[in-house]
Amino acid sequence: MLLKLALRNLLARRLRALVVGSVVAFGSFLAVLGGSFVTSLTASLRSSLTRSIVGDIQVYSDQAKDAFSLFGSGFSGMPDIGHIANFLELKKSLMARFPEIRAMVPQGVNVAMYSAGNILDVKLAELRKSFADPSYPAGKRRDLEAHLRAIVAATGQNYRDNLVANGLVGPKDEKKDEANLARARNPAFWAGFDGNPDPKLEFLENNIAPLIFEDHWLNLMYMGTIPHQMQEAFPQIQIVRGRMIPQGSRGILINEYVYQNAIKDQVAVRLDQMRDAIRDDHQTFASSEALRQKASANVSQVGDILTELSPSGASGLEADLNGLLGPAGEGRDLRSRLKLFFDMDDGNFQQRYGFFYRCVAPRIVLYRLKVGDVFPLTSYAQSGFSKSVNMKIWGTFRFSNFEHSPLAGVFNLMDMASFRDLYGFITPRRRAEQAALEAQMLKEDSSLDESQKDFAELFTHKKREASPAGSVPARVPESRRELAGDKARQRAVYSQAVSDEAMEDGPCLNAAIVLKSPDQAGRLIPAINAYSKSRGLGVRAVGWEQASGVLGQIAGVVKWLLTGFIAIIFLVGAFIIQNAMFMATMERTVEIGTMRAIGAKRDFIQKLIFAETAALSIVFSALGVALGLAAVLWLGRVGIPAPNLQMSFLFSGSRLYLRVGPAMPLVVLALTVLLSLGASLYPAWRANQVAPIRAMQHE
Amino acid sequence: MEIIRFEDVRKDYPLGKVVVPALKGVSFGIQEGEFSAIAGPSGSGKTTLLNLIGCVDTATSGKVEVAGRDTASLSDSVLTGLRLNTLGFIFQSFNLIPVLDVYDNVEFPLLLKGDLEKAGRRARVLKYVEKVGLKDHLRHRPNELSGGQRQRVAIARALVSHPRLVLADEPTANLDSATGESIIALMKAMNREENTTFLFSTHDQKILSQARRVIRLHDGRVESDTAGEAARAS
Ligand SMILES: Nc1ncnc2c1ncn2[C@@H]1O[C@H](COP(=O)(O)OP(=O)(O)OP(=O)(O)O)[C@@H](O)[C@H]1O
Ligand SMILES: [Mg+2]
């Protein structure tokens, strides 16, 4: 009866019911869509982070000075999070106590620099390799030597223009440098080069290469861990090139994103970016300023390409360019031909992109580092001293699903032993090994002078015994000459074997815990914290959201933003409902008065108003929820495309596929109805206050 | 037993700054089972008087007793109960519920009372709808009915719950004389058969002649209180 009356009343004022209903439906629709968006975003961000790097739980020192965040605090570099004194002990203790833990790996994030050196360094390294490889073609080596001679010949001018002219060289050094340059330019230096190349290579590397001003420094952010264990614990790690750092080996696994964007030749990187923009975003040179800027940046970098070309490479390229661009006119040298080539437009981009990889790329240094290379990494501690360690590149990897995100590309993976060396940690076990290694090296390398011996000593960390895990101030290498010395010292370290146990048995910065079932994280975090406190383990556990710092908070921020937005919609909706029901009440005072006069209780009138609101909100909220579900299902199939790379990390891929649980629509429905009823409290109260006498008062 | 008792009842309506006295000291009593009319020119206070008896309004001063209870002393819920269980009210302007059809309008008081099962309600509703001659209009909404038909629905609604006292404000004003008379006959039959007390206001001389007692109002006062023609005739 009540319901019938309520429905009839609603039908009698269809337009208003429709307006109010649309608001209710719209609110419910948005709530379902938004709710599902937030849940899906959180779920996918969670799976991105927990399955790639973070794990379900992170533990770190309870002495940490800064808030823990694996991805840095976003603005101020690496946070000071202290360190875990001994991972192995911690692991044993936690694994024994908590059987829910599936795997636990030590971690630590740090930044190191690599100077790819200039073109002379690169070519010298190539030449050095060629001597070690008996099958290296002789013709190719001759070409390499010719290239080196050409570079050396150009070095004098470069040195005077950049270093001397800017007052970077003292008069004593200048005299020495000029003498070295003269020696290297002398044809006699190059005669019989392949007889005993090592002293000559060292001479060029230590005395000539530093005179070239141009240097490419590369910052590498890496995570020290036990690589193969990390791969087992984190299924999203996928090898792209080469192989995983083998168990027992030192080395680094480069992130494919870093490889393609920072290690690759910048001209090629720009060409790749241009291709992506044209292919994926349908940009054109005519309409995109960014594209034109990239093209002109390439034009201005032609000089770098020229120095990387060997003499025979240059002539080969010139011939190829003539084939592409037509014969060169009078006075057209390779530089102007290359400038013309890189000045691309919509008409010729595809053809020239292909030409670049076919004819230019094989003749230049396309990647400064390649799989199999060994290169020196230098880290600078906060107090200002440095560590250098030679690293072997075993391969490249990516995190499946979000390989295109620069956020996912921040980490390279490194073995824990090298990490500790670069960080300045030294374990008793390591100290003994290193002493033995250094003794052998010093014996082998009798060419070291006294100052270099000092420096070598530095690398043995002999002076560190007072504080084995901390950092002790040491001398900063003042120039490249010293770093060049480092290189020689550290050459042998990379090939040392390190057992898993040795990697575990020592300090690390933090540790990732992967659970058998991720749902248990909420329960386990406080349990681990309590256990650590009672046993004095000195660690604190946090969930993935906290451990991911800014990134982890994004989900929270998005959630609050959306919740706020939906709350506003609901508030406006509630206001509209209140007004509509109030109007409906006021319009019906005669009718309500009549019912009261016939004997209807106040209660009945109130129930009538509530029934009207409930009927209206249930029907329309259900409609809105149904539409929302339909939209979610549709978007669950099609996916929401990520508007940019940053978003693709949040989305765990280029698209976010919405999902929705069974509870959420019901919650939305219930909330909407409750809110509507709340909004009709006042109108209902006003209605039950209508006096029976109002039945007599017709206007 | 007196079912209505008025003692020096006054009713003033505030109208802006002035006060309109609608009843200026009215006293009378009505016995259970009476069939009486209130007569008087327009504005004499008939509706005001019925509202006071119908417990939808309160007197400014004096005492109004309905079914032996002083209405001024009763709470809203007791008054509501009185209206529901003891009184039937036929409004001058019908006051049907516009969204409900004839059947539902007539059933409404029975639903509020809640003492009858669906079948019992149906029998009762059909009985009264038939009595007022609207059997063929069961599913019509008020706006699909003529004024007279609406009046008859209002009458059926007032009678359907078998109240002890039925108040009717000009029940036949919108009816042709034949229908009017049949309605009066219906009321009379109920009065006779169930001892229901009727009190109605009217201008209609013909209807007045059916009353056994006529209270004449003039300008808010009882002008005369006489046995009606019907009483004299019998
Ligand atoms: N709500 C009100 N506010 C102010 N004055 C009122 C109100 N209701 C009635 N009155 C006044 O009280 C007096 C009595 O009115 P009432 O409606 O009782 O007369 P009535 O006899 O029913 O007239 P009618 O035959 O026209 O229906 C009139 O003067 C009227 O103007
Ligand atoms: Mg009147």
Average pLDDT over residues A26-39: 90
A213-227, A272-286, A433-447 — which one is most confidently predicted on average?
A272-286
- Residue A330 CB neighbours (<10 A): 4
Chain A residues touching B113 at Cβ < 8 A: 599
* B81 to A698: CB separation less than 8 angstroms, yes or no: no
- Type and span of the H or E element at A148: helix A138-158
How many domains, in total, are found in chain B?
Answer: 1
Spatial distance between the Cα atoms of B149 and B132, rounded to a whole number of angstroms: 9
Mean pLDDT across B184-212:
89
Q: What is the per-residue DSSP string for A149-188? A: HHHHHHHHHHIIIIIITTT-S-HHHHHHHHHHHHHHHSHH
What amino acid is encoded at A651 in this protein? F
More confident residue, A43 or B165: B165
What kind and span of H or E run contains A79?
none
Which of ligand 1's atoms lies nearest the C-alpha of B51?
18
Instruction: Answer whether A595 sits within 8 Å of B98, measured CB to CB.
Output: no
> Does the C-beta of B11 come closer than 6 Å to ligand 1?
no
Higher pLDDT, A35 or A446: A35
Cβ contact A504:A91 at 8 Å: yes
Q: Coil, strand, or helix at residue A657?
A: coil
Q: Which atom of ligand 1 is nearest to the CA of A693?
A: 1
When computed from its CA atoms, the radius of gyration of chain B, rounded to whole angstroms, is 17
Query: What's the CA-to-centroid distance between B47 and ligand 1, angstroms?
Result: 7
DSSP letter, residue A509: S
Rounded Cα gap, residues B111 and A19, in angstroms: 32
Distance (Å, whole) CA A203 – CA A195: 15
A26-30, A562-566, B69-73, B79-83: which range is least confident on average?
A: A562-566
- Averaged pLDDT, A455-480: 37
Q: Is B103 on the interface with A (CB under 8 A)?
A: no
CB A262 within 8 A of CB A457: no
pLDDT band, very low/low/confident/very high, at A645 (cuts 50, 70, 90):
low
Searching chain A, which residue's CA lies closest to the CA of residue B157? A598
Minimum CA–CA partner of A12 in chain B: B99
Give the residue whose CA is nearest to atom 16 of ligand 1: B45
Q: What is the mean pLDDT of residues A278-286?
A: 87
State how far residue B87 is from chain A, nearest Cα, in angstroms. Answer: 8
Angle at A547 between CA A546 and CA A552, to 5 degrees: 60
The CATH number of the domain holding residue B74 is 3.40.50.300
Backbone angles phi, psi at A106, to 5 degrees: -75, 150
Class of residue A662 by CB neighbours under 10 A (exposed 0-12, middle 13-18, buried 19+): exposed
The pLDDT assigned to A48 comes to: 78
Tokens of A125: 């390294």
Distance B21 CA to ligand 1 centre (A): 9
Interface check B141 vs A, CB under 8 A:
no
Task: State whether the beta carbon of B15 lies less than 6 angstroms from ligand 1.
Answer: yes
Could you tell me the two tokens for A65? 């000075």
Residues A235 and A350: beta-carbon distance below 8 Å: no
Q: Exposure pattern of B20-33 as b/e (b: 16+ CB <10 Å)?
A: ebbbebbebebeeb
Residue of A371 and A116 predicted with greater confidence: A371
Closest by Cβ to A12, choosing from B54, B83, B99: B99
What radius of gyration do chain A's Cα atoms show? 35
Q: Whose CA is nearest to atom 28 of ligand 1?
A: B43
Sheet holding B87-90, edge to edge: B87-90, B165-169, B197-201, B35-39, B213-218, B221-227
> What amino acid is encoded at A655 in this protein?
R
Torsion of CA A478, A481, A486, A492, to 10 degrees: 170
Is the Cβ of B117 closer than 8 Å to some Cβ of chain A?
no
Q: Mean of the pLDDT values across residues A528-540? A: 93
Query: pLDDT at residue A230 above 80?
Result: yes
* Span A6-25, pLDDT tens digits: 888 888 888 889 999 999 99
* pLDDT for residue A159: 82
Q: How far apart, in whole angstroms, are the C-alpha atoms of residue B222 and residue B225?
A: 7
| CA gap A532, A60 in Å, rounded | 11
Q: Is the CB of B51 under 6 A from ligand 1?
A: no
CA distance B161 to chain A (A): 11
pLDDT of residue A308: 85
Instruction: Reduce the DSSP state of residue A406 to 3 states and report it.
Output: coil
Q: Considering only CB atoms, which chain A residues are within 8 Å of B99?
A: 5, 8-9, 11-12
Q: What would the mean pLDDT of A503-514 be, rounded to a whole number?
A: 92
CA of B46 to the centre of ligand 2 (A): 5
Taken in order A52, A58, A60, A66, is the CA torsion positive or negative? positive
SS3 of A67-114? CCCCCCCCCCCCCCCCCECCHHHHHHHHHHHCCCEEEEEEEEEEEEEE
Protein residue with least CA distance to atom 14, ligand 1: B45
The H or E element containing residue A672 is: helix A663-679
Helices (H), A445-548: 450-460, 480-490, 500-504, 521-535, 544-547
Query: Is the model's pLDDT at A228 over the cut of 90?
Result: yes
Looking at residue B112, its pLDDT comes to 94
Question: What is the pLDDT at residue A456?
Answer: 39
pLDDT, tens digit, 9 for 90 and up, residues A123-148: 888 888 888 888 888 888 888 888 88
Positive or negative CA dihedral for B82, B85, B90, B91?
Answer: positive
Do residues A692 and B77 touch, judged by C-beta distance below 8 A? no
Residue where the block lists tokens 């939209």: A631
pLDDT above 90: percentage of residues in chain B: 74
User: How many whole angstroms separate alpha carbon A683 and alpha carbon A680?
Assistant: 5
Taking CB atoms and an 8 Å cut-off, how many pairs form between chains A and B? 72
Residues of B in contact with A11 (CB under 8 A): 99
B48 Cβ inside 6 Å of ligand 1? yes
Q: How confident is the model at residue A257 (pLDDT cuts 50, 70, 90)?
A: confident
Q: How far is the CA of B135 from the centre of ligand 2 (A)?
A: 29
Percentage of chain A beyond pLDDT 90 is: 37
Neighbours of A202 (CB within 10 A): 15
Nearest of A226, A264, A256 to residue A396 by alpha carbon = A256
**CB A70, CB A58: distance < 8 Å:** yes
Q: How confident is the model at residue A448 (pLDDT cuts 50, 70, 90)?
A: very low
- The pair of structure tokens assigned to B22 is 């609608």
State the Cα–Cα distance between residues A419 and A226, nearest whole angstrom.
10
Q: Which residues contact B132 (CB under 8 A, 6 or more apart)?
A: B152, B153, B155, B156, B183, B186
What are residue B74's phi and psi, to 5 degrees?
-95, 150
Q: Which residue has the tokens 């190719």?
A: A140
- Which atom of ligand 1 is nearest to B203's Cα? 25
Hey, which residues 6-45 in chain B have their CB within 8 Å of chain A?
none
- Computed from CA positions of residues A514, A517, A519, A523, in that sequence, does the dihedral angle turn out positive or negative? negative
**Collapsed DSSP state (helix, strand, coil) of residue B215:** strand
Mean pLDDT of chain A: 83
Tell if the CB–CB gap between A8 and B111 is shorter than 8 Å. Answer: no
Place of tokens 């996928």: A238
Q: Quote the pLDDT of residue B20.
A: 92
> B43: Cβ below 6 Å to ligand 1?
yes
Ligand 1 pocket check for B19: Cβ under 6 Å: no
Most confident among A105-114, A161-170, A621-630 (mean pLDDT): A621-630
The mean pLDDT of A343-348, rounded to a whole number, is 91
What 3 state SS string does A475-503 have? CCCCCHHHHHHHHHHHCCHHHCECCHHHH
Q: How far is B99 from chain A (nearest CA, A)?
A: 6
pLDDT tens for each residue of A359-409: 999 999 899 888 998 888 888 765 556 777 888 999 999 887 665 555 666
CA distance A2 to chain B (A): 10
C-alpha torsion angle, residues A93, A94, A100, A105 (rounded to 10): -110
Distance (Å, whole) CA B12 – CA B6: 16
Strands (E), A531-646: 539-543, 640-641
Helix, strand, or coil here: B151? Answer: helix
Answering whether pTM is above 0.80, one says: no
Alpha-carbon gap: B23 to the closest alpha carbon of chain A (Å) = 17
Domain that holds residue B227: 2-233
Helix (H) or strand (E) holding B33: none
At A284-335, the pLDDT tens digits run 999 889 899 999 999 988 888 888 888 888 889 989 998 888 887 766 788 8
B224 close contact with A: CB closer than 8 A: no
Is any Cβ of chain A less than 8 angstroms from the Cβ of B104? yes
Protein residue with its CA nearest to atom 7 in ligand 1: B13
Query: Which pLDDT score is estimated for A150?
Result: 84
Model confidence at A58, pLDDT cuts 50, 70, 90, reads very high
CA dist list (Å): B172 to A107, A155, A367, B154: 96, 122, 105, 11
Are residues A8 and B95, on separate chains, in Cβ contact within 8 Å? no
Q: Which residues in chain A have Cβ-Cβ distances shorter than 8 Å to B92?
A: 696
Token couple for A428: 């008793």
Q: Is B96 left (phi over 0), alpha (psi -120 to 50) or beta?
A: beta
DSSP secondary structure of A302-347: HHHHHHHS-HHHHHHHHHHHHHHH-S--TT--HHHHHHHHHS--TT
**Do residues A346 and A274 lie in contact, with contact meaning Cβ atoms separated by under 8 Å?**
no
Q: Which residues of A touch B76 (CB under 8 A)?
A: 602
The residue whose C-alpha atom lies closest to atom 24 belonging to ligand 1 is B42
Contact A482, A455 (CB under 8 A): yes
In Å, what is the CA distance from A517 to each residue of A50, A53, A389, A514, B64?
12, 17, 38, 8, 78
Q: Which residues of A have a CB under 8 Å from any CB of B?
A: 1, 4-5, 8-9, 11-12, 590-591, 593-602, 604, 691-693, 695-696, 698
Task: Tell whether the model's pLDDT for residue B95 goes beyond 70.
Answer: yes
Which residue type does A200 have?
K
Residue A3 distance to chain B (closest CA, Å): 12
Please report the sign of the dihedral spanned by the C-alpha atoms of residue A130, residue A133, residue A136, residue A138. positive
The distance from CA A477 to its chain's CA centroid, rounded to whole angstroms, is 30
Residues of A in contact with B112 (CB under 8 A): 598-600, 604
Ligand 2 geometric centre to CA of B179 (Å): 21
